[in-house]
A and B are shown apart, each in its own frame.
Chain A
Amino acid sequence: MNGSARAVGRGLLFISPWLAGFCGLTLGPALLSAWYSLTDTTLLDPPVYTGLSNFRRMWSDSLFWIALRNTLVFAAMNSIGVTAGSLGVAVLLHRAPARVAALARAVIFLPTVVPVVTACACWMWVFNPRFGILNSALTAAGATGGPDWLGDSRFALASLGFMSVWVIGSPLLVAGAALREVPRSLLEAAAIDGLGSGGRLWHVTLPAISPALMFNGLMALIWSLQLFGPPLIMTRGGPEHATLSYSMYVYLCAFSYGDMGYACALAWVQLALTLALSAAVLVVGGRFVRYRTT
């Protein structure tokens, strides 16, 4: 055995705990779920091979379409909201005094470390139609009373989307770090050329930080396509399935309805959808992203 093979062997030995975990806890179940997606099973009984029937079932399953639509709408709201929100706040903090910016960043990051159940419980009070701060503010502003944010199917999903933009701590850090990396010389050159602050932001800063924005948008998209906790805790998917998310539906099918085969098929469609949307974002977004060359 030569030295390089020995080095590879030693490397594999060192990562073998991780490899064992990955194979046993991720790859194995993933392959098993691919098999289950072609079968009818509750897990309680032996799977019966049914070919692609689980995938065909989706066409006539209204809840599948509702969950898919809800998730896509939420993903659009969240990824745009989080990316734009974090950028806006990052730009403001970039111009703020250092101490103020550090304090604000810490405060804005705080929701990121709050457990989702706690955050949801707080937001339920914010959205409470009678006693919530949101409707109280609307009433104080002269409105005759705000809507039932979580109980009205017209507002429920939008309310969850609004809530999700609250968690911008991580993308804010990424955007802030990218802003600090914008070459000062470029900004000075643009200023000498007569560009105002808006022009410098549009023509210099945004192109310079576009890789970071792309990263934030992509992460937000992938995260929001897996939406699960908030609708489960706050609305249980209602009213009228208006907040039923795709992941929640997969979970319900697998563990509440005893339809594991169908749930696995749904999960594979979700993976395909996530990959496709991510690829689309990379391809379309890639046209607007400017990578710095050294």
Chain B
Amino acid sequence: MGWDRDQSRRAFLGAAGAAAIGGAIWPRVPRSRVMVPPGRVVLDYWEKWSGTELDSLQRVIDRFNASQDRSFVRVLPVGDLTTKALVAIAGGDPPDLLGMLSYSVPLLAETGAAIPLDRFSPALDTGAYLPAVRALLSYGGRQWAGVTSVYALALYYNRAMFAQAGLDPDRPPRTISELDACAARLDIRSADGRLERCGFLQVPVWWPYFWPIMFGGVLYDSARDRAVFADEATVRAYEWVASYPDRLGLSEASGFASSFERSYHSVGDPFLSGRLGMIVQGPWIANFARACAPELDYGAAPVPVVDDLLDPTEPTGLLEADVIVIPRGCPHPDEAFEFVRFMQQQETQEALALAHAKSSPMADVSPGFHARHPNRSIRVHDEVMRSPRVRILPQTRIWKSYADRTLGAFQHAWGGGGLRESRRDRLLRVLRGVESEVQGMLDHAARLRSRRAGPGGRA
């Protein structure tokens, strides 16, 4: 009995102590609402950015919050945002605003998961965007998203390395053959044959679908809703990809590339650390260069194209965007649109672009924008974005699935050494396989669209 009494007393004291501690630390007001001025509508904004990118977005949001007294935007960084956004929208409990990638726009539009921005008034001035940006934000003739930032890829090269190798630092490669020649000059091997420095590699493999574009490929024929992934341009592109492990040795090239797998945008970044002479990157690399390698003497140029595509006045490239959408079922769509409108102002866009070291998505740029820009090569990115030859990702809801399959094809090309005589055939078989499967998905999506557009379906 004494043991039971002791146990009960101990349990009671423990529970009481825990309750007291819990009561002491329990926030009287939800922590997230502490800073909200009274009388404002709170807009929850889920954004995929974190770190310095989120900090600079927060500064823009602070300006919005201070500029009016109706609503208050509260940003929440969310990892794996696409997944969580889909679940939140499906569950009927989305935030007011979602910071997505532009490839999500077709899926959100087709499923009615986003509210078209042309539903609100006064309407946004879509003529203020660059044409390619306007295309990224639209689907089926309607605008579904506002833009938060854009980027076009460029070739960054180490000027000091160029000079050391006897190359002209003011004359970066413009064609694939020039790129190959420069890369070979920059390679350095140790006495035992190991690759110490590499002139160029197709790393990081974040845009495996990019190279066909630089060879004249189109990936997708929107007019006929056809996947285009086994055409001559794509085959040539991936044959060229394969030429690098061929030249450097598959094992050496793979080992070299893999050793940087987790160190991009840090002091261990292959380009920033001087282990890679040239790299294809977005304009944000300027911010990382300033932080991690302030002494790095770099330049940038449009990504080289296959020789017969070269037109220095109209560079070819790829444009992608971060977008902001108002999800279906959001609690405060009108107030959310006010914030989207604020974000689409030239001044706001330039502030964010300067902080992220990116280009402005707007057709007009203020006079001091380039002078104040942290990326000394930002005009190169601007040229690509404004070029009539700039491409955007295929506007189809199955793009993510397509993109993942292009990664498989890229890796096949990269690792497909050995039987040289049959390489082209094997590569072609893989590319045709991808094309056929993607076409199957496109056809499936089209059937679904028509079924939904039928009686009782959504058009």
User: Is A255 a contact partner of B86 (Cβ separation < 8 A)?
Assistant: yes
Max count, chain A CB within 10 A of own CB: residue among B82, B83, B255, B448: B255
Contacts of B83 in A (CB 8 A): 255-256
Contacts of B7 in A (CB 8 A): none
User: Is B415 a contact partner of A239 (Cβ separation < 8 A)?
Assistant: yes
User: Is A48 a contact partner of B251 (Cβ separation < 8 A)?
Assistant: no
Interface 9-mer from A123-131, A174-182, A213-221? A123-131
The verdict on B14 contacting chain A, using a C-beta distance below 8 Å, is: no
Residues of A119-173 contacting chain B, CB below 8 A: 124, 128-131, 145, 147-148, 150-153
User: Is A148 a contact partner of B255 (Cβ separation < 8 A)?
Assistant: yes
Q: Contacts A48-B451, A131-B259 given; indicate if A238 touches B86 (C-beta within 8 A).
A: no
Contacts of A2 in B (CB 8 A): none
The verdict on B17 contacting chain A, using a C-beta distance below 8 Å, is: no
**Nearest A-chain residue to B84, judged by Cβ:** A255
Contacts of A255 in B (CB 8 A): 82-83, 86-87
Q: Contacts A42-B107, A241-B408 given; indicate if A124 touches B261 (C-beta within 8 A).
A: yes
Contact with A along B407-450 (1 / 0, CB 8 A): 11001101100000000000000000100010010001000100
Give Cα distance in the complex from A257 to B400, angstroms: 6
Contacts of B309 in A (CB 8 A): none
Looking at the complex, which one of B255, B398, B437 makes contact with A130 (CB distance below 8 Å)? B255
User: Is A42 a contact partner of B411 (Cβ separation < 8 A)?
Assistant: no
The verdict on A293 contacting chain B, using a C-beta distance below 8 Å, is: no
Q: Contacts A45-B112, A239-B411, A255-B82 given; indicate if A129 touches B258 (C-beta within 8 A).
A: yes
Contacts of A45 in B (CB 8 A): 110-113, 452, 458
User: Is A148 a contact partner of B251 (Cβ separation < 8 A)?
Assistant: yes
Contacts of B258 in A (CB 8 A): 128-130, 148, 150-151
Contacts of A129 in B (CB 8 A): 254-255, 258-259
The verdict on B256 contacting chain A, using a C-beta distance below 8 Å, is: yes
Query: B157 to chain A: closest CB distance in Å?
Result: 23
User: Is A259 a contact partner of B401 (Cβ separation < 8 A)?
Assistant: yes
The verdict on B55 contacting chain A, using a C-beta distance below 8 Å, is: no
Give Cα distance in the complex from A256 to B401, angstroms: 8
User: Is A61 a contact partner of B437 (Cβ separation < 8 A)?
Assistant: yes
Contacts of A62 in B (CB 8 A): 433, 437
Q: Contacts A60-B440, A148-B254 given; indicate if A128 touches B259 (C-beta within 8 A).
A: yes
The verdict on B262 contacting chain A, using a C-beta distance below 8 Å, is: yes
The verdict on A117 contacting chain B, using a C-beta distance below 8 Å, is: no
Looking at the complex, which one of B89, B407, B451 makes contact with A44 (CB distance below 8 Å)? B89
Looking at the complex, which one of B90, B108, B407 makes contact with A238 (CB distance below 8 Å)? B407
The verdict on A240 contacting chain B, using a C-beta distance below 8 Å, is: yes
The verdict on A258 contacting chain B, using a C-beta distance below 8 Å, is: yes
Residues of B233-277 contacting chain A, CB below 8 A: 251, 254-259, 261-262
Looking at the complex, which one of B87, B194, B401, B448 makes contact with A48 (CB distance below 8 Å)? B448
The verdict on B404 contacting chain A, using a C-beta distance below 8 Å, is: yes
The verdict on B159 contacting chain A, using a C-beta distance below 8 Å, is: no
Taking residues whose C-beta sits less than 8 angstroms from the other chain, chain B's interface range is 35 or more
**Nearest B-chain residue to A61, judged by Cβ:** B437
Q: Contacts A124-B262, A239-B411 given; indicate if A151 touches B111 (C-beta within 8 A).
A: no
The verdict on A43 contacting chain B, using a C-beta distance below 8 Å, is: yes
User: Is A240 a contact partner of B411 (Cβ separation < 8 A)?
Assistant: yes
User: Is A43 a contact partner of B87 (Cβ separation < 8 A)?
Assistant: yes
Residues of B96-111 contacting chain A, CB below 8 A: 107-108, 110-111
Contacts of A259 in B (CB 8 A): 401
The verdict on B397 contacting chain A, using a C-beta distance below 8 Å, is: yes
Contacts of B90 in A (CB 8 A): 42-44
Contacts of B411 in A (CB 8 A): 153, 238-240
Contacts of B440 in A (CB 8 A): 60
Looking at the complex, which one of B111, B401, B407, B433 makes contact with A257 (CB distance below 8 Å)? B401
Give Cα distance in the complex from A79 to B86, angstroms: 36
Give Cα distance in the complex from A63 to B401, angstroms: 11
Residues of B68-95 contacting chain A, CB below 8 A: 82-83, 86-87, 89-90
**Nearest A-chain residue to B262, judged by Cβ:** A124
Q: Contacts A258-B86, A258-B397 given; indicate if A42 touches B111 (C-beta within 8 A).
A: yes
Give Cα distance in the complex from A256 to B80, angstroms: 10
Query: A34 to chain B: closest CB distance in Å?
Result: 17
Give Cα distance in the complex from A142 to B328, angstroms: 62
Give Cα distance in the complex from A151 to B245, angstroms: 13
Query: B204 to chain A: closest CB distance in Å?
Result: 12
Given contacts A62-B433, A129-B259, A151-B255, 8 further A-B contacts (CB under 8 A): A40-B451, A42-B111, A43-B87, A48-B457, A60-B440, A62-B437, A145-B194, A239-B414
The 3 closest A-B pairs by CB, nearest first: A43-B90, A129-B255, A44-B111
A-B residue pairs in contact (CB < 8 Å), sample of 21: A43-B87, A44-B89, A44-B328, A60-B437, A61-B437, A128-B258, A129-B254, A129-B259, A148-B258, A151-B255, A151-B257, A151-B261, A152-B254, A152-B415, A153-B411, A238-B411, A239-B414, A240-B411, A240-B415, A255-B82, A257-B401
